Structure 1
């Protein structure tokens, strides 16, 4: 949610639906002093890659639902917005949260499934989806990222 809040902030503060890249960078780096210019440009690139922002010619816009995000008074993004989140860990955390168990237990169960049931012939991405189904946790929102992470395997 932090990246969503960070990218929504300039639009909300300026009360506009469309902003130029330079206006977003100015807001993040110069007006708010949240980061330097390179980091502000990286935030825009990350938001674009995750589909949180759309480019329309020289302008960027955010989805309508982002304009309703509550940005707390005194909000300042942490450095964790620059960290790429592992989709396997994210889905494991969702399973753990929904079922009231520790994430380590979910990871252990995933590892046991990969080794015991499939003799090490199952990728973590597939194993976590199997566990999500067993625990009744929706995994559809994670599928694109899981597929991308599988594509990185040589």
Structure 2
């Protein structure tokens, strides 16, 4: 999910449906200073592997609904996006999607709705994922230590 947010951010900020590769790299590496140029290229490669974007002649186009992605205030992607290691939130979202038979994007949209409408944006992603897991009676207790560690890292 945070990969989707990191990919959506340049498109939403620049209000464009397509970006040149150089614009994407500039936004991630220089404008936001989230990572260096090599890491920004890795982020783009990972997004293509995950089927989030496609590239045609140097132009990047998202393959998901940008409007459905909410960029949290102060969002900064972590380095685990580059390695492909799933975060505890991503793992729990996948578990919810599997248990409900809903697509991951739909579960992610529901989590964003919990954050925005239920808590006016004042709820951490980790807590919202647990709320949605409880809503569908999906077990999450085994992920609590990792979720707590994730929250502690962000402080």
TM bin (shorter chain): 0.5 to 0.7
Larger Rg: 1
The answer as to whether partners of 1:11 and 1:67 remain within 8 angstroms in 2 is no
**Superposed CA offset, 1:116-152 (max 9, x none):** xxxxxxxxxxxxxxxxxxxxxxxxxxxxxxxxxxxxx
**Superposed CA offset, 1:66-124 (max 9, x none):** 343110121111122123247xx948x717954336449xxxxxxxxxxxxxxxxxxxx
Q: Which secondary structure does the structure 1 equivalent of 2:84 belong to?
A: coil
Instruction: Give the number of aligned pairs.
Output: 102
C-alpha separation between the residues in 1 aligned to 2:32 and 2:140? 39
Residue 54 of structure 1 deviates from its aligned partner by: 1.2
The answer as to whether partners of 1:4 and 1:66 remain within 8 angstroms in 2 is no
**Superposed CA offset, 1:39-75 (max 9, x none):** 0000000000110011122200113513431101211
The answer as to whether partners of 1:11 and 1:19 remain within 8 angstroms in 2 is yes
Q: Which secondary structure does the structure 1 equivalent of 2:81 belong to?
A: helix
TM-score, normalised by the number of residues in structure 2: 0.57
Superposition CA RMSD, Å = 2.7
